[in-house]
Structure 1
Amino acid sequence: MPWKNQGGGPWGSGPKGPWGSGPQPVGPRPPDLEDLLRRAQDRLQQLLPGGYFSGVGIALVLIAALVIWGLSGFYRVQSEEQGVVLRFGKYVGETFPGLNYHLPYPIETVLLPKALRVSTLSIGMTLIDDPARRGRTMRDVPEESLMLTGDENIVDVDFTVLWRIKPKGVADYLFNIQNPEGTVKAVGESAMREVVGKSNIQPILTGARTTIEANVQELMQTTLDRYGSGILIQQVQMQKVDPPAQVIDSFREVQAARANLESLQNEAQAYANRIVPDAKGRAAQILQAAEGYKQQAVAEAKGQSARFLKVYDEYKKAPDVTRQRIYLETMERVLGGSEKLIYDGGGASGAQGVVPYLPLNELTPRRPPTATTSTGQPQTQGGSTR
């Protein structure tokens, strides 16, 4: 009920406020603590058996409160979570998915980070709401994606990082870093800029993506381990690697010219691969023929010299006989292949001479042509001549 000015304020003086000065407040009276306790006692007496409040009732209430307080320590860890138990704010252990228990608050508390979930972080691009498409669309973030290569070119790199908490690094993840996602993003961008800054633009745009991804992942993991972050980098995936939009047309012209150059080089290399083996084959054939002729000439020379030495040895033993044999062999070699008639011109005196015409060459059968052996001796069909 409202206070009225009936002979004094709360302290029995005139119309004063609670501190004895100023106007008296007008409004609802503050609740009386004793009145509240009395009402609570009356309700409790109605609930207790016998309708009266006794020491047994107080004990039952305390036991019920203790039971409820003790049961409040049960908690459930989901499949992708891992429990971290803190005792008065200090790390004491970890729990795994399922129903677990910790001492009730405020003795122990539990944190439930998503330790088994693989998170995806995009760098160089972000999702924004697109009212026109009634959904979300990807937008480039140039301040994150534009990077300088080792050959002083600019490249636009968008990539994603797959990361999770290490199996035994939950405590490090919770207590060593303040913003895990921001830390992973900063480390990923720094690592990609370092690796791209050591590479040329052509391998980055063509076939060196796998190597770059592996190098960035290794560098990120080393940096995060040095921070003691408790984070595991599972994979780095390069999504888009292009020149900046302002120079992409000129870059495509350069790429086309480079492709044309490579095509001409490949054609020249194919022609060389076709001509060079043929020339090497002909050269090898000529060398083999020359080597064969050399061996034949040397062998013939050695044979002739050996034959001459043998003839010379026989000549020293019987000069006259050997001289006659050499003469006959020489005449045989000179005259053996020609058609000839021999007339000795002898006969008794007064004998009749040859007839004026006698076709002796037609009566004599023709001899087959002679072949010269490797030693220089003429050889006819059926044996050597004499």
Structure 2
Amino acid sequence: MAWNEPGGGGNKPKDPWGGGEQGPPDLDEALKKLQEKLGGIFGGRGGSGGKSGGGRGIPASLFVVAALVAVVVWALMGLYQVDEQERAVVLRFGKYYDTLQPGLQWNPPLIDEVIKVNTTKVRAATFREIMLTRDENIVEVRMSVQYVILDPTSFVLKVRDPENSLQHAAQSALRHVVGDTTMDAALTEGRAQIGVDVQTRLQRYLDMYETGIRVVKVNIDESKPPTQVQAAFDDVIKAREDEERLKNEAQAYANGIVPEARGRAQRVIEEASAYREQVVAEAEGEAERFMALLTEYAKAPEVTRERLYLDALQRVFRNTSKVMVDVEGGNNVMYLPLDKMTEASGPAVPRVGGRLDSNTIRELTNAVREQLRQDDASANNRRGGR
């Protein structure tokens, strides 16, 4: 309905809130009424004529604005960011409420307590202990433990001081493992195994305590005897090194001499095998030759016998140039210089392969026999004339 709509009793504009002659509402009056109501609520004095110490009271609108600002600030204080590597444990009025994942989160401030825990950071703790080994020797061990927080809720709520519990558990595990190890193993090659055993035992302790910690790695950084016996221990180490060096030298000598001996033995075996094969082959050849000769001898005994005799002489005279002949019935030994006789015969003497052939040997033999008979006859004539 328009304010200046014509009709209805004159030229006066109509009031849209009712009342023909009432004007628009006064905003100051409305604020005064609201102030009086709020003043009554907060114990203040209302009315336009109210005085306080000669001045006016605080306007109620300021309380409203202050309350709204306080609510906004309180709401903004509840906003926070949980990083990717973190988890947030929320306590509401001191009691566990929730564990929040990474992202933008909101919790009512002054009501909820938020504890952020980094679950990916690898933390480290170092321990140094002096303890007794199984063989009643004292060793000093320095150990480092690397760990992460696996369960933030248990880490925050189940144990009062989880890192202190980790220290006590690590010391206990280290003493238990080293106490079951000899000194030599703890100081030398057994250190890696000690680290593995300590890690297993330490993780079992932490799981039993519900600390929420997972052990990543246990390193035995150093293990040594106490300072008071360091000199004696150095002498022992030096003696052990000398022993190891001598063993290595002996092993190197054995590695060199044993293969050589085996090679020589194998060579002797091969030579013996070759000699056996040679002897067997020669024996078989001689047997076959004898059987063939026997067959020929059965056919012509005289010819075969003569041939055998000549072959024997050829073998005997093959490598000699001198022949000694014993004359039957005489005391003198005749010396036949066959080398000179061969040279004197000149190129007319036939040779076969650089040696005298059988015909030449036969002729020489007959000549020798004839010469021997003549010499024997001459000797007999001289003896008869006397």
**TM-score category (smaller protein):** 0.5 to 0.7
Q: Show the counterpart of 2:222.
A: 240
State whether structure 2 residue 148 is matched by structure 1 residue 158.
no
CA gap of 1:307–1:190, structure 2 versus 1, over 3 A, is farther
Q: Show the counterpart of 1:92.
A: 98
For 1:115, give the aligned amino acid. Answer: T
CA gap of 1:309–1:238, structure 2 versus 1, over 3 A, is same
Matches for 1:133-152 after TM superposition, within 5 Å: 145-152=129-136
Instruction: Note the C-alpha offset of 1:155.
Output: 0.9
CA distance in 2, matches of 1:44, 1:203: 91
Q: Show the counterpart of 1:13.
A: none
Instruction: Note the C-alpha offset of 1:253.
Output: 2.2
Q: Show the counterpart of 1:33.
A: none
Q: Show the counterpart of 1:111.
A: 115
CA distance in 1, matches of 2:315, 2:262: 44
Q: Is the CA contact (8 Å cut-off) linking 1:91 and 1:171 kept in structure 2?
A: no
For 2:243, give the aligned amino acid. Answer: L
Matches for 1:277-288 after TM superposition, within 5 Å: 277-288=259-270
Which one of 83, 87, 100 corresponds to residue 88 of structure 2? 83
Q: Is the CA contact (8 Å cut-off) linking 1:122 and 1:159 kept in structure 2?
A: yes
Q: Show the counterpart of 1:231.
A: 213
Q: Show the counterpart of 2:79.
A: 74
Q: Deviations over 1:133-179 (max 9, x none)?
A: xxxxxxxxxxxx1223344322100122122212xx21232233332
Q: Show the counterpart of 2:344.
A: 363
CA distance in 2, matches of 1:195, 1:299: 74
Q: Show the counterpart of 1:193.
A: 175
CA distance in 2, matches of 1:247, 1:336: 88
CA gap of 1:163–1:360, structure 2 versus 1, over 3 A, is closer
Q: Deviations over 1:36-55 (max 9, x none)?
A: x7589989951324x9xxxx
CA distance in 2, matches of 1:63, 1:122: 53
Q: Is the CA contact (8 Å cut-off) linking 1:82 and 1:116 kept in structure 2?
A: no
Instruction: Note the C-alpha offset of 1:115.
Output: 3.4
Q: Deviations over 1:306-346 (max 9, x none)?
A: 222232344445555544544443344344555589xxxxx
SS state of the match for residue 160, structure 2? coil
Q: Is the CA contact (8 Å cut-off) linking 2:196 and 2:218 kept in structure 1?
A: yes
Q: Deviations over 1:63-101 (max 9, x none)?
A: 5554444333223446864312245623423232x6421
For 1:113, give the aligned amino acid. Answer: V
Q: Is the CA contact (8 Å cut-off) linking 1:123 and 1:159 kept in structure 2?
A: yes
Q: Show the counterpart of 2:381.
A: none
Alignment gaps of 5+ in structure 1: 1-36, 52-56, 125-144, 342-358, 371-378
CA gap of 1:313–1:182, structure 2 versus 1, over 3 A, is farther
CA gap of 1:270–1:384, structure 2 versus 1, over 3 A, is farther
State whether structure 2 residue 245 is matched by structure 1 residue 263.
yes
For 1:364, give the aligned amino acid. Answer: S
Q: Is the CA contact (8 Å cut-off) linking 2:87 and 2:99 kept in structure 1?
A: no
TM-score by length of 1: 0.61
Q: Deviations over 1:80-128 (max 9, x none)?
A: 64312245623423232x642124443x43222343433322212xxxx
Instruction: Note the C-alpha offset of 1:274.
Output: 4.0
CA distance in 2, matches of 1:255, 1:277: 33
State whether structure 2 residue 233 is matched by structure 1 residue 251.
yes
Q: Show the counterpart of 2:7.
A: none
Q: Deviations over 1:16-51 (max 9, x none)?
A: xxxxxxxxxxxxxxxxxxxxx7589989951324x9
For 1:255, give the aligned amino acid. Answer: I
CA distance in 1, matches of 2:86, 2:105: 12
CA gap of 1:40–1:381, structure 2 versus 1, over 3 A, is farther
Instruction: Note the C-alpha offset of 1:243.
Output: 0.5
CA distance in 2, matches of 1:367, 1:222: 114
Q: Show the counterpart of 2:25.
A: none
CA gap of 1:122–1:321, structure 2 versus 1, over 3 A, is same
CA gap of 1:367–1:161, structure 2 versus 1, over 3 A, is farther
Instruction: Note the C-alpha offset of 1:184.
Output: 1.3
Q: Show the counterpart of 2:334.
A: none
